[in-house]
Structure 1
Amino acid sequence: MKKLTVQVLATLIVTIGFFQGCSSSTNQKLPIMGQPEYKEVNGKVDTIYHTIPDFSFVDQDSMVVTPATVEGKIYVADFFFGTCPTICPIMKQQMLRVYSAFKDNDEFAILSHTIDPEHDTVAYLKDYSERLGIMDNNTWHFLTGDKDKIYEIGSSDGYLVPVGESPDAPGGYIHSGAFILIDKERRIRGLYDGTDPKQVTALINDIPKLLAEYEK
Structure 2
Amino acid sequence: MHIFLLPGLLAAALLTSCQDRKLPYLGEPEKIVKTVDGQAVDELHYPAIPAFSFTNQDSQNVTEADFKDKIYVADFFFTTCPTICPVMKKNMLKVYDEIKNKPDVRILSHTIDPEHDTPAVLKTYSNDLGVSNAIWQFVTGDREKIYEIGQQHYLITAAEDAKSPGGFLHSGHFVLLDKDRHIRGMYDGTTDEGTYELIRDIRTLLKEYE
Query: Is TM more than 0.5 here?
Result: yes
Q: Which ranges of structure 1 fall in alignment gaps of 5 or more residues?
A: 1-23
Shift of 1:125: 0.2
2:19 matched to 1:32?
Answer: no
Aligned residues: 190
The one of the two structures with greater contact order (alpha-carbon pairs below 8 A, sep at least 6) is 1
Matched with 2:86 is 89
Shift of 1:25: 4.8
Alignment partner for residue 155 of structure 1, among 151, 160, 169? Answer: 151
Q: Distance in 2 between matches of 1:163 and 1:53?
A: 17
Matched with 1:164 is 159
Matched with 2:208 is 213
Higher strand share: 2
Matched with 1:56 is 53
Alignment partner for residue 43 of structure 2, among 43, 46, 59? Answer: 46
Aligned CA RMSD, in angstroms, stands at 1.0
Q: Distance in 2 between matches of 1:28 and 1:104?
A: 24
| TM-score (structure 1 length as normaliser) | 0.86
| TM-score (structure 2 length as normaliser) | 0.88
Q: Percent identity?
A: 54
Per mean C-alpha deviation after superposition, the further-off stretch among 56-65 and 36-45 is 36-45
**Cα deviation 1:49-104 (Å, max 9, x = unaligned):** 01111100011011211111011110000000011000000000000000011101
Shift of 1:134: 0.8
- Which SS does the other structure have where 1:155 is aligned? helix
2:132 matched to 1:139?
Answer: no
Please say which structure displays the higher CA radius of gyration.
Answer: 2
Amino acid aligned to 2:27: G
2:95 matched to 1:98?
Answer: yes
Q: Which ranges of structure 2 fall in alignment gaps of 5 or more residues?
A: 1-15
Amino acid aligned to 1:196: T
Q: Distance in 2 between matches of 1:153 and 1:25?
A: 30
Q: Distance in 1 between matches of 2:55 and 2:22?
A: 33
Matched with 1:15 is none
